[in-house]
A and B are shown apart, each in its own frame.
Chain A
């Protein structure tokens, strides 16, 4: 089944403890992206990647890092999480032909930083 898989689904952590949220897709998509969703603010793009080793900042990149060493994986790294990073996170992927293809989303990761 074609899908985007995020892990973990739920995570509670403490301020300052480094964490990684994994994202993997099995559709050979070139384009991958991370979003966070907050009440009243909607979905905001954190980082995106056009292909392996090519990443760029979205609208809210502060406090996050990403890497794209393999085409299928796009992990989101929080080096020193803070409570304002408590949110629902989504990974999405798409073919690079953006005119003809839309996004496929993962199921989300609910992160709580205390």
Chain B
């Protein structure tokens, strides 16, 4: 059974700091891995999608990497800003049963 774990559960950093969020999964049989942002009580906004054949994707200050063999993905946020404060979720599209499994998320707080 695919399991997705995100570490840390919560993170507080000063503005301007570079940071890394981690996502690990137990089964490498995946279609893709997707990173989302969720503001409190709101919906999920897609940040980056990494296909299973790719190693990384970049969008602005965000860079996501994927190492399928080790079951790991990282989301790198450069020069963090208070507006980056949110919960970040990773989701793995598992090839078995066409299910997408979510991690519990990392709650990020960027202090001004």
Contacts and interface: CB of A to CB of B under 8 A. Distances in A.
Whether A and B are associated in the same complex: the answer reads: yes
Given A45-B99, A98-B93, A108-B43, A103 B34 contact: yes
A48 B46 CA distance: 19
A15 B22 CA distance: 40
A110 B49 CA distance: 27
Interface string B23-63: 00000000110101000011111100101110000000000
A105 B45 CA distance: 7
Q: Chain A's interface: helix, strand, loop or mixed, by majority?
A: strand
Q: Is the interface of B mostly helix, strand, loop or mixed?
A: strand
A43 interface: yes
Interface string A38-55: 001011010010100000
B41 to A, nearest CB: 7
A40 B97 CA distance: 25
A98 B89 CA distance: 18
A92 B91 CA distance: 13
Contact of A58 (B51, B93, B99): B99
A58 B12 CA distance: 34
B42 A107 contact: yes
A25 interface: no
B24 to A, nearest CB: 15
Contact of A104 (B31, B32, B46): B46
Interface of A: 31, 33, 35, 40, 42-43, 45, 48, 50, 56, 58-59, 88, 90, 92, 98-108, 110
